[in-house]
Structure formats: C-alpha cells, structure tokens
C-alpha cells in the first residue's frame, strides 16, 4: 500500500521481501475465505482496537473500511457483506486480489526484489543505508526514505519472524515485547479426553469471563477442543483479556454455558425427571440434547458426585469452569501484540529519532480481533506511511530550495 501511494506520486519505489514471493501471510489470511473488513458502524469498528484506539483512529480516519471497499472495486475486486457483517471479496479468495494488485504495481514501475532479507543497520551507518542478505551475498542500498513493514512474530515460515526487533532497539527505539494475539490456550486435559475429542468443535456455546479490573464479558459462538487446550473464533475474540490475565495471575478461568438458550430452572426440571434404566449419558441426550464433546467435557470437569446430582450437574452445564494455563506459542498465533510503540512515531508513522524511517502494519504496537480489523488497519497504516514519506520528501525539497535561495542572496 505504501508502494502504491509513492509510485502514484511519481517517486521511484523499490520493494524488498525476504521471501521468494510477496504477500505470503496475506494469502494465508485468505485460506478460509478472505475477511477483508467489517461493515458495522465506524464507532463500533474503532472499539475493536482496545487501548490503542486513539492511535488507530487517526490512521483509519484517512482510510476507512468503506474507503478500502472503494479501493478494492477500483482494483476490479467486488466485495459483499456477509450475514455476520463481515466483508469478503465475491470470490472469497486472496490470490486473485494479490495478483491483480501486483500486476498493477509492476505495470506502473514498482521494482520488486525477492529473497532480500533485511539485516538491519551496521554500526555507524545512517538509517537510509540498508543491508540485505541475498542469494548473491550481502548487498547495501541507500534510499531517500524507508518504510518498514516487517510484520509481527507469528507464522514465521511465512516471513514475519520478529527478527527486526533487536535492530530497532539498538537504535534506541522503544519496542514493546511481541506477544501472541488471536491465539489458542493450554488446558490440562486427561489422556482419554484429549484422544477422544481433540479437533472437535463446541458449537452454540457462550463463554463468560471476569477479571479483577471489573471487566465482565459474555460472548456467544463456537471454538475447538485441541490436543493441548482450546482455540477458535470465540477464544480468539477474548485472547487479549485471557493472555493478560494469565500474565497477571498465572492462569485464567473461563465459564462455559453449554446450552445458552435454556434457563437453569428448565434444565433442572428436565434432568430431575426419572432416569429409569437409561444411563446418565442417554439421560443427558434424551432430556436436554447434550452428547458428544459437550457430554465429554462435563465428564472431564464435573466430579462424579456432582454428575449424579441434577441440580449441580445443570449448574455446571450453565457455568462450566475451564482453567487456561498458558497461551500457545507465538508462532501459532494468528497475529501478535507488541511492537514499535506509537509514542516513538509522529502522525505520519515516522520514527521521531530516525527521520526518513517509517513503520507500518503489524510491527506497530496494536492488536485487534479477527473479523477484518487486522487487515483494514494494516492497509490503512501502509497508506499513512506512504503519504508520510511524500510529506517528508516535500519538506526536505522545500528546505533545499530555501537554502539555495539563501546562498544566492548572500
């Protein structure tokens, strides 16, 4: 996005990527259907960025979700709004969009350099001198301005390794530690439960979570039981709160409502009916429709004595505690929190202490849930950084002009 803004302004643009091709994580994001943005109200959209709203708002104001849809249409990519409010390309895929975009960029003169891994700066080098490892050996190049869009630390095999962090810290830039976001969590399952139910989804459930700060969240959806714990959309939406709780207390406890459409008195009434010759498993299935992974989860967590008591069992069905012991490794996360602190940047996303060096995308210190919020903010930050480069070069040109006038006058 930064390259597009700059080439349209008539500047020479070179784009370097460590991988053999560009946009690999973008393609992964579209693997299950490219959720490019969200159609909810702009105020609600902004609320998804948590405590970074003041910074993200100034970026998104200049490239809103609707602006993104208009831009896609201009690229020849039609979009539609799904039943959940999420915005997708009509064909649901990332590859056609990326191909069309790269074709346009190459057509207007952007120079792409693949397999160029940025090595940071050598001691004593100015910030405009860039060092790359290439198949032909190390290479240096100098630029009038630099936009870094180096990603976070998840899905390292796609290029976002987080290896850039020491280079910026060595230059005195505050980089907050990278952390997993939109991630799964570890739960200590029994061997039987892990082997029997790993990979199975828990559908139509509600997760509740409360912390010491008075935050109370209750959210409907679904998630997946994994070999090591839990993951999936409902868990991802709460991942920032759960991660911070684990950092503070060493663990986090969520409460799971297995039947959110049924009240506790109704369930107790049904489960208190005579069981007859039916096993408890059949009684659960026939009376209230609980079987499979939901029944297995009850067996896993509820004590044998409570399982035989209709009242206590139904209470567990409405508020089943699950203890999360750790986040899954950062490389498994969909995205990362942490990165270059916004306090280090001006309104154009230029590093204040390094004039001419701009940052964009996931390497900035922000996070958001899945649902199109991540991609929209990445696109917008690239555009803001590109416009910032134009403004910076324009100021430099004006300063040279004024200096030239001053020399002639004297």
Which of 181, 291, 281, 287 has the alpha carbon at shortest distance from 241? 181
Largest CA distance in the chain: 107
Helices (H), 80-160: 95-107
282 forms bridges with which residues in the sheet? none
Topology adopted by domain 2-180+333-406:
FAD/NAD(P)-binding domain (3.50.50)
Residue 352 to residue 339: CA distance in whole angstroms: 16
The DSSP code for 344 is G
> 360 and 2 in contact (C-beta within 8 Å)?
yes
The model scores a pTM over 0.85: yes
Which of 83, 53, 81 has the alpha carbon at shortest distance from 68? 81
Q: Residue-wise pLDDT tens for the chain (410 aa)?
A: 999 999 999 999 999 999 999 999 999 988 888 999 999 999 999 999 999 999 999 999 999 999 999 999 999 999 999 999 999 999 999 999 999 999 999 999 999 999 999 999 887 778 888 999 999 999 999 999 999 999 999 999 999 999 999 999 999 999 999 999 999 999 999 999 999 999 999 999 999 999 878 889 999 999 999 999 999 999 999 999 999 999 999 999 999 999 999 999 998 898 888 877 777 778 888 888 899 999 999 999 999 898 888 889 899 999 999 999 999 999 999 999 999 999 999 999 999 999 999 999 999 999 999 999 999 999 999 999 999 999 999 886 665 554 455 555 55
Residue 346 to residue 338: CA distance in whole angstroms: 18
Query: Could you state, in order of their start, the residue ranges of all structural domains in the chain?
Result: 2-180+333-406, 185-327
């Amino acid at each position: 996005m930064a390259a597009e803004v700059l080439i349209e302004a008539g500047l020479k643009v070179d784009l370097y990527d460590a991988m053999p091709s560009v946009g690999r994580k973008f393609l992964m994001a579209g693997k299950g259907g490219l959720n490019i943005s969200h159609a909810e109200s702009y105020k609600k959209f902004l609320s998804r960025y948590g405590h970074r709203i003041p910074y993200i708002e100034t970026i998104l104001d200049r490239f809103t979700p609707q602006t993104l849809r208009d831009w896609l249409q201009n690229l020849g990519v039609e979009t539609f709004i799904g039943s959940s409010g999420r915005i997708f390309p009509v064909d649901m895929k990332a590859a056609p969009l990326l191909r069309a975009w790269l074709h346009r960029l190459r057509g207007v003169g952007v120079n792409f350099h693949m397999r160029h891994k940025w090595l940071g700066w050598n001691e004593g080098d100015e910030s405009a001198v860039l060092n790359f490892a290439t198949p032909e050996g190390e290479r240096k190049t100098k630029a009038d301005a630099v936009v870094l869009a180096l990603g976070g630390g998840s899905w390292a095999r796609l290029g976002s390794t987080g290896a850039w962090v020491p280079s910026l810290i060595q230059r005195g830039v505050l980089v907050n530690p990278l952390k997993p976001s939109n991630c799964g969590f570890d739960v200590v399952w029994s061997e039987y439960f892990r082997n029997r139910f790993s990979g199975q989804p828990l559908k139509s459930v509600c997760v509740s979570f409360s912390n010491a700060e008075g935050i109370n969240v209750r959210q409907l959806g679904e998630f997946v039981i994994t070999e090591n714990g839990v993951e999936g959309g409902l868990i991802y939406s709460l991942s920032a709160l759960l991660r911070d709780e684990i950092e503070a207390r060493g663990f986090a406890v969520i409460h799971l409502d297995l039947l959110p459409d049924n009240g506790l008195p109704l369930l107790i009434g049904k489960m208190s009916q005579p069981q007859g010759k039916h096993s408890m498993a059949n009684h659960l299935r026939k009376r209230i429709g609980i079987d499979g992974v939901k029944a297995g989860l009850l067996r896993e967590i509820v004590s044998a004595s409570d399982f035989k008591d209709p009242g206590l069992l139904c209470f567990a069905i409405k508020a089943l505690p699950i203890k999360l012991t750790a986040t899954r490794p950062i490389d498994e996360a969909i995205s990362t929190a942490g990165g270059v602190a916004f306090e280090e940047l001006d309104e154009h996303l230029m590093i204040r202490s390094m004039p001419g060096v701009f940052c964009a995308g996931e390497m900035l210190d922000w996070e958001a849930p899945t649902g199109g919020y991540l991609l929209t903010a990445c696109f917008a930050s690239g555009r803001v950084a590109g416009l910032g480069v134009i403004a910076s070069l324009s100021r430099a040109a004006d300063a040279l002009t004024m200096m030239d006038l001053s020399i002639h006058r004297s």
